[in-house]
Structure formats: structure tokens, C-alpha cells
Structure 1
Amino acid sequence: MTENDHLPFPADNFQRRFNRIFEQLVSHCHVLLYIRYDHCRTPQAALSPYVAGERPEDGVRAIKLNQNESPYPASPSVSDALRGIGPELFREYPDALCDKLRRKLSAVHGIPASRIICGNGSSELITLLYKTLLREGDAVAIPDPTFGLYETVARTFGVEPVVVPTDDEYRIDTRRLAETNAAAIIIANPNAPTGIPLQAPEIERLLQTYNGLVVVDEAYIDFAPESISVMNLIETYEHLIVLRTFSKAYALCGARIGFAVASERLIRAMQKARETFSVGAVAQLAAEASLADMDYVKFTVSRISQTRDRFAAELTRRGWRVIPSVTNFVLAAPPSDGVSAKELYARLLQEHIYVRYFDLPRLSDKLRISIGTDEDMDALLAALTRIG
């Protein structure tokens, strides 16, 4: 008797059946694997990533006016604090909750520390609020145009962006945002890339009539009239979150640190889901030091605002359409009978002058120009004259 004689059918039939069943199993597994892989892959493949401004090559002398950075260094108190760093700052983990920084923020802004959360830039906090306060399938109402990260992060978490166009003057219509019945509304105030502010009473009317989450990103608030901030409203409205950053007025872009203020309930929810030790010890130290020298911050903000107004007036004199801005940048369209915004962007790059061009509806005829020093802006104006 052979080893196959006990089979109830010939061995060759067994082999054929085995092969067929095996092929079916493999095919089934491939389908399952593809479905599982595609389920993870497809949402990411559909995303349009947020694209930051270009960086000059190392060693190239350039004028960088494309990322809304401060043209002035951070406060001297920051340099002093960094010079005093000991090895233990790097050896030990940082303060996970940024307690010392939160106490300093509380003293500066008159907000209880329990209503403040710090993050690795306000971008981490934007991600965190989508992660913890919204669910997959929810909708978020977003003005257009605005900061592109709001929509990118929403899609990452399966939240549907409902885009509401601003009016012909690029002003945000809070009533239309509320009419979307979205679970949340997110507003940059002043808005980016336009630089146009909403007045605080208008945002408060929204808070009074809309019950969803309202997020107000005040990244550029230090350059605007103080009266437009709604930070003081968080104790009145439980559904309000206000975002701030140290990147712009405090000149700490490279440190990556921001904070949010909200009700204790919302802050507790965000604290539970935040990354442990997301804000490094050096960043915390730099932010603490900058808060100790608010006079310097106000001085540099004033210089930038004066330069902005002078530059905007000169562009207007040359026939540009300049959107009125209360930030550290201007959005402006060159004369329609001259060189296009896209061509100007390319020609300026050749001269190592970096500005921002958005190839998007309603923006493709404009440049967004960060405000540098007076010397920076004069160099840009001279280049625009040469280009024609």
C-alpha cells in the first residue's frame, strides 16, 4: 500500500483539489489584505497636504518674506535665558503640562492656568481639537480663503470641511458659517491670508446663536487692535476655544510653541489626548523668557506695523490693490495691465526674494508678502521697479 492508498479519491485528484482550494484561499487573503491596506491608504492618498513657504538654500543670501516670520530677533531676555542653560535641561524630561509657562500666561492674560493648554505650536493644538472634540463624520465650517491647515487636518480625521466663501471684500460672514449647521466653526482672526479682522461683537453674536464648537485662531492678534480679541469671552461661553502662538509677534517660530484657552472641561479633554512631552524644555524656557519682556514684543510689533502701513501705501501708489491688513503681512494684486502675480513671484525668486503665491481661485492674481525690516521692503520695492 502506498502512502496515498487511504485517500477516498485518487492522489492526482487530491492534489488538484488541494491546489484549487489553496489558490482560492490565497486569492481571498489578497482581497482581505488589499481591503485592509486600501482602507488605511485611501483617505491619506486623497489629502492635499499643507504646503509651507519655500526656504532659501543654505548659504544663499536672501530676503525671506513668505512665512510671516518676524524680521527681528526674539527678546534679549530669551538669549539670556538660553545662555544660562545647564546640562540638566537636556538630561531630564520637560514639564509635561508646561505648568510654569501656563502660570506665566495666566499672569499676563488674566486667564486661570486651568483654562490653558500648551502645544507644539498652535498646529498641534489644531490637530488635538479635531482629534478630541470632533468625531469622524462631523462637519466643520471654514471660511474661504483661510489657513489651509484647517481643512487638511479635518480630512485626516474624517471630518468634512464645509467651505463658506468670504464676500467680495474677503470679509467672513459668520451668519453663513452658522447656517451650515456644522458641528464646529473655525475662524482665523485676523484672517490669513487676507489680514482682515472680525470685530469681537460679531463673534460674540455667533456664540450667542450657534451651539457648536467655535474655534478662533488669534495667531496674528498681537498686530491687531486689542479690542478684536475674544479671549476674555471664554468664561462666558463654554463652546469657545481661542488659539494663540509664540511664532509671530514673539519671534519664536523655530521653538514651535503655542497655547489655547477654553473652558476647563474642554481643556481637560484635550490634555487627556495630547502627546506626552510635546513641548520641549528649550521651547518652554524661551516662551517664559519672552513673556517677561512684553515691552520688547510691543516695540517690535509697532515697528512691523509702521513698516506694513508704509509699504502698503507705496504699493497702492503704484496701482496695486492692497487688501487692508492688521497683521504682519499684506495680500496685494499687481496692476492688471502689468506683470502677473505668478510671473512676479517667479522673477522675485530669481533675485532671491521670497514671497508667497497661491495658485488658487480668488488668490492667483495676488501675492502675500510678509513684512520685513524697512530695508527688506525697500529692496523688494526696488526689485518690483526693475521687473516692471
Structure 2
Amino acid sequence: MNYVLPHIDKLEPYKSGAMPKDHERAIRIHLNESPYPPSPEVLAALQHTPADILHCYPDPQCTELRQALADLYEVESSQVFCGNGSSELIGLLFRTLIGEQRRVAIPYPSFALYENVAASFQSEVIRMPTAEDFSIDIDQLLACNADAIVLVNPNAPTGLLLPASEVERLARGFDGLVVVDEAYMEFVETDESVIPLIRELPNLLVMRTFSKAYALCGGRVGYVLGNSSLISAFDKGRNSYHLNTLTQRLALAALKDQQYMKSSAAAVRQTRDAFSRQLAELGFTVFPSQTNFVLCTPPADSRLTAFEWTERLMEQEIYVRYFNADRLRDKLRISIGTNEQMDRVITQLKAILNHKE
């Protein structure tokens, strides 16, 4: 007898990038991790955390962290919810606000976890195709017959950014729920966040994470901002004690050092732009990115498929992301590391082009 629910039984699990065997030698530029450590404030908080916090339950409301985020974005703490990474927030989104048989429109391609979680909650996904250059048509989204729209901005895995004015036009013109995932917004050169709009638009939710610019992906903490009634639904649907005490303390410490975060993000942008130019010089087609990664198509005359490029790089302990998915099979997504790491990547790409090992 099969005890698994039928819709779960046929579901393909979300697939993350491969984990390197040699962690010391490997260049991990396939998971969009920060190439830099967290702020010294975070490391100090980690070192000075008393052991006795471990035998006490964490604050289930994440009161201090919520208030710190509310202060940063000049909203009320009731408009902020903190979760165990964006993955928990996405699960709560479908559990509490979208649910079974309701329709959610998502531009394609985008962050695949949304479609995976939607299937697990039996929500219907409407894939909204992007243009040939992967740009998103807001008018097309406004015309969709859906209960909710999910927009990742800047988008993953394309790296493309929609200006805040276009996202605002979507949120004001659509009657249903609009979810804007701004996981990579700290890497954008200008402020294109729509967080200020949550003060007046009751249908808008904005997701953020500490995993990228704050370099806390191992800590697993994300947050969502929106109307208090939407945030209260997340509170009702969450698990008890879902965000541990240590994570809350580390996130608070990270928030205190905004200058460090901004400096790290600026360094990533600088390396990203230089690396993109080098890729183009090698014959790669590079899509303009406003994130901590680039999406690119290898040179056609290399006679190697994108998957083969991935394998050749992996032989040298360089891990980049390959997606076996429509419109992405001929492309690579490459996260941005340090200048030294990206120099090594360029050297190896040149060697592959020259058919050298």
C-alpha cells in the first residue's frame, strides 16, 4: 500500500546544486552564496553567545528581530514576519494565502522552488513566458486570470531587474495578491525596492533574505513585509519556535552593520561587471545582471554543450549551475566569487576553449 498522498508521490523534489567533495579546494559558484564572510558583528555575536540560551526555547515571535527590521524599513513590527529562510516563507505563503486549487501566475523562467511548493499544496501554476531576452511583460501579467502573482525581482536565474515603477504598476493594477521576492535587491545599483508600498497596498508582500548580501545562508533566516492582516496569517500558519535563538541573534548583529553589508555588495557588483566583460571577450553571451550571479550562453563554436561545460569545470573543482529546463539547457549560471576565484574561472574557461586540460 502506498501511504504517500498521490500529488506528493508524483512530485519531483526541488534540486539544489551539487555539493563539492573537496570543500577546501572547490570554488562554489553555483549556489549564489556570498564570497565574503558575515560582518565582524555577526562573528562577535556568535563568539559571545552564552551556552545557557540552548536549554531555553527561542522567542516564537522573533520580537527583537522584527522590531529591528521594522525600524530599518520604517514600518510597524506587525508588518514584518521572520522565518527559517525564504523556503519556509514560500511554504507559508501557499499554506496560508494561496492554498489548494487557486491559481498563481509566475513568469518563466524564475526561481523553481515556487512551482515545486505550489504543487505540494495543489495550487495551480500559470507559467507566464518571458520574452526572448527574458524580460517580463507587466501588461501580460495584469491580464492573467490568477488569484496571485509571484515576481522575483531581480529575477533568478536571469539576473534581470524590473524598475520599481513597473512593479508598482503591477501591484496597483492587479486585484489579487502580489508577492515580490527581493532576495537579490541589495546587489542592485539603485534602490528599486517596493517595500515602501506595503504601507498603502493591502495586496502586496515583499520577501527578503539574509542568505545573500548578509552572508548568512547557513543561518537560515528570511523575512517578509506586508499588510498586518497578511502577516498575521503567516503567524497563524507557522510552526512553533520555528526560528532558533542563535539565528535571531546573528541576524540582529548583521542588521547593525549596514555599512559592511553594503561594502560587500558593492565588491560583488564590481567583480560581477568585470567578470561579465571577460566572459563577453571569450565569446559568451552574457545577460545583464543586477544580482550576485550571471546567466550566460557558452560560445557556439566551442562545440560543447552547456552541460559539458559544467562537467569540464567540475573536473577542476569549479562548480557552476546547470539547469536541465526549458530555455535554460544551453546556459550556465555562475555565481560571483572573489576576484581571485573569478580569475581562476576565466583561466579555466580559456583552457577549455583552447582544448587544454
Task: State the TM-score, normalizing by the size of structure 2.
Answer: 0.96
Match of 1:220 among 167, 179, 184: 184
Letter in 1 for 2:42: V
Mapped partners of 2:194, 2:347: distance in 1 = 40
Q: Unaligned stretches of 5+ in structure 2?
A: none
Equivalent residue for 2:313, pick from 345, 348, 363: 348
2:31 maps to 67
224-233 vs 260-269, which moves further: 224-233
Query: 1:254 maps to which residue?
Result: 218
Aligned to 2:6: 42
CA drift of 1:291 comes to: 0.6
What is the rounded CA distance, in whole Å, between the counterparts of 2:224 and 2:189 in structure 1? 20
How much has 1:274 moved relative to structure 2?
0.6
- Contact persistence 2:27–2:319 (CA under 8 A): yes
Instruction: State how far apart, in whole Å, the 2-side matches of 1:135 and 1:240 are.
Output: 17
- Offset, 1:177: 2.1
1:136 maps to which residue?
A: 100
Which residue number corresponds to residue 346 of structure 2?
381
2:149 to 164, 181, 185: 185
User: Where do residues 270-281 of structure 1 align in structure 2 (5 Å cutoff)?
Assistant: 270-281=234-245
| Alignment deviations for residues 164-190 of structure 1 (CA, whole Å, 9 cap, x no partner) | 110111011122223221110001000
In 2, the alpha carbon distance for the partners of 1:59 and 1:78 equals 23
| Structure 1 partner of 2:209 | 245
Q: SS in structure 1 opposite 2:199?
A: coil
Q: Write the letter of the residue equivalent to 2:276.
A: A
Report the Cα offset of residue 348 of structure 1: 0.5
Q: Which residue of the other structure, out of 124, 132, 137, is the alignment partner of 1:168? A: 132
Does residue 368 in structure 1 map to residue 333 in structure 2? Answer: yes
- Please identify runs of 4+ aligned residues in structure 1 that moved more than 3 A: none
Q: Counterparts in 2 of 1:75-94, with a 5 A limit?
A: 75-94=39-58
Q: Which has the higher helix share?
A: 1
Q: 1:267 aligns with which of 231, 235, 260?
A: 231
* Displacement after TM superposition at 1:285 (Å): 0.6
Contact between 2:282 and 2:350, CA under 8 Å: does it hold in 1? Answer: no
Secondary structure in 1 aligned to 2:38?
coil
Shift of 1:58: 5.0
2:91 & 2:142 partners in 1: Cα distance? 22
- How far the C-alpha of 1:59 sits from its partner, in A, is 5.2
Task: Give the Cα separation in 2 of the matches to 1:206 and 1:363.
Answer: 26
Quote the offset at 1:215 in angstroms. 0.2
Cα distance in 2 for residues equivalent to 1:199 and 1:46: 38
2:90 to 126, 151, 155: 126
For residue 168 of structure 2, the aligned residue among 195, 204, 207 is: 204
Please report how far the alpha carbon of residue 221 of structure 1 lies from its aligned counterpart in structure 2 after TM superposition: 0.3
The 5 A counterparts of 1:153-164 are: 153-164=117-128
Letter in 1 for 2:312: R
TM-score (norm 1): 0.89
- Cα drift, residue 387 of structure 1: 1.1
CA distance in 1, matches of 2:200, 2:5: 42
Correspondences of 1:94-113 after superposition (within 5 Å): 94-113=58-77
Of residues 314-323 and 59-68 in structure 1, the stretch that sits farther from structure 2 once superposed is 59-68
Q: What residue identity is the alignment partner of 2:347?
A: A
> CA contact under 8 A between 2:80 and 2:226: conserved in structure 1?
yes
Alignment size in residue pairs: 352
Residue type of the partner of 1:44? Answer: I
Q: Is the 8 A contact 2:297 2:331 kept in 1?
A: yes
Q: Counterpart of 1:49 in 2: which secondary structure?
A: coil
Q: CA deviation at 1:226?
A: 3.9
Q: Distance in 1 between matches of 2:284 and 2:113?
A: 28
Once the two structures are TM-superposed, the CA of residue 342 in structure 1 deviates from its matched residue by 1.3
* SS of match in other structure, 1:244: strand
- Once the two structures are superposed, the pairs formed by residues 140-155 of structure 1 within 5 Å of their partners are 140-155=104-119
Q: Distance in 1 between matches of 2:152 and 2:129?
A: 14
How far 1:228 sits from its partner (Å)? Answer: 1.4
Structure 1 stretch 51-60 or stretch 286-295: which is displaced more?
51-60
Q: Deviations over 1:308-359 (max 9, x none)?
A: 0000001111111000000000000111111321111000011100000011
C-alpha distance in structure 2 between counterparts of 1:215 and 1:91, whole Å: 37
Residues of 1 paired with 2:38 and 2:116: CA distance? 30
CA distance in 1, matches of 2:109, 2:189: 22
Deviation at 1:60, TM superposition (A): 5.2
1:270-318 CA-to-partner distances (Å, cap 9, x unmatched) read: 1011111111111111100001111000111011100000000011111
| Deviation of 1:205 (Å) | 1.1
| Structure 1 unaligned blocks of 5 or more | 1-33
Letter in 2 for 1:234: I
Rate the CA distance shift 1:141–1:70 in 2: closer, same or farther, 3 A: same
Q: Hey, what does 1:116 align to over in structure 2?
A: 80
